C-alpha cells in the first residue's frame, strides 16, 4: 500500500513538473510576441492637407478620411493598405506611389497624376476619375466598376517601371 502511494505521488509529481515546464516554455516563447510595441496607423481624418508634401514617405495603412488633399504631393510614397475615403485629391501628384491593397472610396481624382503608380488590388468605390494621367499605372486586380474601366481604357498606355505590367493589360482593355 505504501509503495502504491509512493508510486502515485511520484507520478503526480512528474505530471505537475512536466506541466510546469511546458507552461514556462509557452510563456517564454509567447511573451515576446505580446510585448511588441504596435503603433496605430497614421490618421489624417478631416485634415487640411492642401499642397502638403508626402513625397517618398511611408504611409502604410494611413487613413485619409474627409481630407482636403488638393495639389498634395505623394510622389513615390508608400500608401500600401491606406484608406482614402470621401476626400478631395484634385491635381494631387501620386506619380510612382504604391497604393497596393488601398481603399479609395468616394474620392475626387480630378486631374490627378497616377503615372507609374502601383494600384494592385486597390478598391476604387465610387471614385471619380476625371482627366487623370495613368501612363504606366498598374491596376492589376484592382476593383473598378465597368464605367471606370471603360473611361480609363480610353487613355491607358505605358508600362509600369516597378512591375513591368502594361497599363492596358492591368485594366483588361
Render pLDDT for 71-115 as a digit per residue (tens, 0 to 9): 999 999 999 999 999 999 999 999 999 999 999 999 999 999 999
pTM score of the predicted model: 0.76
Residue 33 φ/ψ, nearest 5 degrees: -65, -35
Q: Quick one: which H or E segment has residue 31?
A: helix 2-34
Q: Report CA-CA distances (Å) from 10 to 5, 18, 20, 21, 24.
A: 8, 12, 15, 16, 21
Residue with more model confidence, 11 or 60: 60
Q: What is the pLDDT of residues 38-58, one digit of tens each?
A: 456 689 999 999 999 999 999
Q: Is 143 helix (H, G, I), strand (E, B) or coil?
A: strand
Buried b (16+ CB within 10 A) or exposed e, 78-112: bbbbbbbbebbbbbbbbbbbbbbbbbbbebbbbeb
Residue 124 φ/ψ, nearest 5 degrees: -105, 95
Amino acid at each position: 500500500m505504501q509503495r502504491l502511494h509512493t508510486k502515485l505521488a511520484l507520478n503526480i509529481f512528474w505530471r505537475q513538473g512536466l506541466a510546469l515546464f511546458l507552461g514556462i516554455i509557452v510563456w517564454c516563447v509567447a511573451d515576446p510576441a505580446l510585448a511588441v510595441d504596435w503603433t496605430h496607423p497614421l490618421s489624417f481624418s478631416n485634415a487640411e492637407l492642401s499642397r502638403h508634401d508626402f513625397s517618398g514617405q511611408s504611409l502604410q495603412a494611413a487613413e485619409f478620411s474627409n481630407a482636403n488633399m488638393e495639389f498634395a504631393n505623394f510622389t513615390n510614397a508608400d500608401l500600401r493598405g491606406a484608406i482614402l475615403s470621401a476626400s478631395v485629391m484634385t491635381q494631387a501628384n501620386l506619380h510612382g506611389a504604391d497604393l497596393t491593397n488601398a481603399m479609395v472610396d468616394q474620392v475626387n481624382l480630378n486631374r490627378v497624376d497616377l503615372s507609374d503608380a502601383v494600384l494592385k488590388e486597390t478598391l476604387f468605390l465610387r471614385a471619380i476619375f476625371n482627366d487623370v494621367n495613368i501612363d504606366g499605372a498598374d491596376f492589376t486586380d484592382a476593383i473598378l466598376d465597368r464605367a471606370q474601366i471603360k473611361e480609363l481604357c480610353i487613355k491607358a498606355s505605358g508600362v509600369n517601371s516597378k512591375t513591368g505590367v502594361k497599363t492596358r493589360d492591368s485594366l483588361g482593355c
